[in-house]
Structure 1
Amino acid sequence: MPLTQQNNQEKQLLQKLRPSRIVLPVLIGLSVVGFMFWRSYRPGDLAPLAHAKLHWLLLMVAVLLARDLGYIYRIRHIAERALSWRASLDVIMLWEFASCVLPSAAGGTSVAPFILNKEGISLGKSLAYVMVTALLDNLYYVITVPLVVLLAGNALYPHEVLQGGLITTLRVAFVLSYISVSLYAGLMLYALFINPLAVKRLMVRLFSIPGLRRWRPKAYQHGNEMVWASAQLRGNGPVYWLRAALSTAFVWTARYAVIGCIIAAFVEVSASEFALIFGRNLTYKVILLIAITPGGAGIAEGAFPTFFGKFIGTPTMTNFIVLLYRIVTYYLYLVLGAIFLPRWITRVFGHKAAPDEATAALR
């Protein structure tokens, strides 16, 4: 890669991750929660806080730690131990930070290859490892959704809040989301393990159609990335894929279990209700996937009562729980990212060799 192009990409990466980006999502999210509290608060609504179940709160912390440790293990394993444990921690913290400060559609995946590349992994392998994580994440969704639908049925959708056209719209969005994720996962499987050149040609031809030509360069680039990734991943044995798949299932199951742990800490929740809360995370995710704000800020908070309010009770308690949920799964990673980023920049660029854009990213 030409040095000028590499410097430009590094500059763009650091601009995307600059700590000042945390201000907007925090303002949006807290403003929405503040408005929700103002609209719903009644004296006495927060009485359940006095009877919080400590064991559920400790379990929530344990689940969060287990999830992050699972992510750290997974990226180190997928990267074939090219990363140290320290580097794996930095990568995950920056990846989570990027997911928080960028729109959900882009997420941390868009900058992850360059983070890995700065850790000394070639760009081809970096792209391959990120594509493996994306493929496994999508496959978890593809496999889990039918199981949850089979068990939960219509209870998967918040009929108690949404009626008529709104519930139909949510169902359609959920089905379309599942179909698109399934097709993309299938395309990635075929491209990575069977015929990457055929997929590349298909993508270029598809985006040569009038009306889609503006995305043709991106399609060409993505096709090249699939070819590179395929070349890097061939030869990995079944143990490699089994560990990668199991760690993916572990981290996503932990991720979806957090809301249930928080609700159970303040409200009596049966085993079937806990399972239903877990399932509703899948429909809740659809809203977050289409969110245009950084990390879904404001949209995640506003949609939360629709999906989980029935399990909690009063709107005020629901607002408190959504605030706690976003603190431990979103705002916490904004803070951690702002702490880890300057240290990471110093480590990978060096005190003296750091480029101007690295220094600018700290402002």
Structure 2
Amino acid sequence: MSDNFPGALPPDDANFLQRLRPSRLILPVVIGLAVVGFLFYRSYKPGDLAPLANADWRWLLVALLVLAARDLGYIYRIRHLAEGALSWRQSLDVIMIWEFASCVLPSGQGGTAVAPFILEKEGIPLGKGLAYIMVTALLDNIYYVLMVPLVLLIAGAGLYPHEAMQTGFVATLRVAFGVSYIFVTLYAGLMLYAIFVNPRAVRRLMVRLFSFPFLRRWRRKAYQHGQEMVLASVQLRGNGPRYWWHAAVSTAFVWTARYAIIGCLIAAFVPMDMGTFLFIFARNITYKVILLIAITPGGAGIAEGAFPTFFGKFIGTATMTSFMVLLYRVVTYYLYLVLGMVFLPRWVARVFVKQPVAEVKS
């Protein structure tokens, strides 16, 4: 794919393609691989990689199946939320481009920032597309709100990596985790009320809240977000229990699979009982908090650097931990960079059919 997109494209189209241009891959790849290389350089000892020779390939197969099942769950969910307006092929393209965008944009934005545009190019009106994206955000937040008490029961104080206590990291993580949980809970409750009870009251509340001097710069965005909630409410209120049941189950499925990947990969090289597997699953919840606040594209560098702190104790040697960092990022990050490079040119050629797209392939 060329970075020089046709100048005849409308501004929104050109801006979208610029945000996902291939040159944006260079920075996250360099950062991520540099951190992994540093981890290997600092930790490598001859013989530490011996467990690779005794890998349990069944667990590696399970990890790949879980990864595939997660993506199939995402594909099913977006097609269901869009009320069948997307074909299976379109749903696959949407998810692959969405994942690719999550890899090349800062973690705080992720694929959600461009998802309404992707859906609009697939023929879904912007208002409906915003409603569907808001539903995914709402369901994702509710899963998080409900899962945190459960993982606290499973892991207790071990939810945090106390092996890093001497650095003060755990104390900071506790605060970040608690603040994020409170914020997500309040936001999920606000979205529920807005979509199902009184969206206009929520819009007024947001505008008044962001009228304070220190928040006034975001007042326009607050109004826009409130308006999106009103549109989402109009679009979604008529959907019956079956719609919400399938949406909720598919959400629980994809996020459970997402959190289970690390445990499956570690189990391929380290003998593990169910209790340890669940413990790793629980700790993954706090690990994701680090990625949410990362400012690099796809959390590059942050994800690799934080991984040993959270999961090193379950793996053994520092060298094996460095290898596990690389393996985890290959299957959850670099894989989607490659898939995005495959899907994006074909998707652009398909949905931009009314525009000259002569240079979508390299």
Q: Answer whether TM exceeds 0.5 for this pair.
A: yes
Partner SS for 2:238 = coil
- The 10-residue stretch of structure 1 (305-314 or 212-221) with the greater mean CA deviation from structure 2: 212-221
CA offsets, 1:319-352, max 9 Å, x none?
A: 10110000000000011111111100110011xx
- SS for the counterpart of 2:256 is helix
How far apart in 2 are the matches of 1:164 and 1:118?
A: 48
Count, aligned residues: 354
- Structure 1 residues 141-180: aligned runs within 5 Å: 141-163=144-166, 165-180=168-183
Distance in 1 (CA, whole Å) between partners of 2:97 and 2:76 is 15
Written as runs of structure 1 = structure 2, the 5 A alignment for 1:90-109 is: 90-109=93-112
In structure 2, distance between residues paired with 1:220 and 1:318: 46
Q: How does 1:160-239 map to 2 (within 5 A)?
A: 160-163=163-166, 165-239=168-242
Q: Give the counterpart of 1:323 among 315, 323, 326.
A: 326
Please say if residues 18 and 362 of structure 1, whose CA atoms lie closer than 8 Å, have aligned partners that are also in contact: no
1:354 match: 355
Query: Displacement of 1:213 after TM fit?
Result: 1.3
- SS state of the match for residue 295, structure 1? coil
Counterpart code for 2:273: S
CA distance in 2, matches of 1:320, 1:70: 28
Q: Which amino acid letter does the alignment assign opposite residue 302 of structure 2? A: I
Per-residue CA deviations over 1:178-232 (Å, capped at 9, x if unaligned) read: 1111111111111111111111111111111112111111111111111111111
Distance 1:219 1:310 in 2: 43
Listed as ranges, the matches of 1:10-25 within 5 Å are 10-25=13-28
* TM-score between both structures, scaled by the size of structure 1: 0.95
Q: 1:336 corresponds to which residue?
A: 339
Tell me the C-alpha RMSD between the 2 structures. 1.4
Partner of 1:138: 141
d(CA) in 1 for partners of 2:350, 2:112 = 22
Q: Which residue of 1 aligns with 2:296?
A: 293
Structure 1 contact 127–229 (Cα < 8 Å) conserved: yes
Per-residue displacement from partner, 1:114-167 (whole Å, max 9, x unpaired)? 100000001000000000001000100000000110221001111123347321
Q: How far apart are the structure 2 equivalents of 1:212 and 1:188?
A: 20
Q: Does 1:118 align with 2:121?
A: yes
TM-score, normalised to structure 2, is 0.95
Runs of 5+ unmatched residues, structure 1: 1-5
Which residue of the partner structure matches residue 3 of structure 1?
Answer: none
Cα separation, 2, equivalents of 1:138 and 1:360: 39
Matched with 1:307 is: 310
Identity %, equivalent residues:
73
CA distance in 2, matches of 1:211, 1:96: 34
Distance 1:235 1:19 in 2: 41
8 Å CA contact 2:138, 2:188 repeated in 1: yes
Q: Which amino acid aligns with 1:347?
A: R
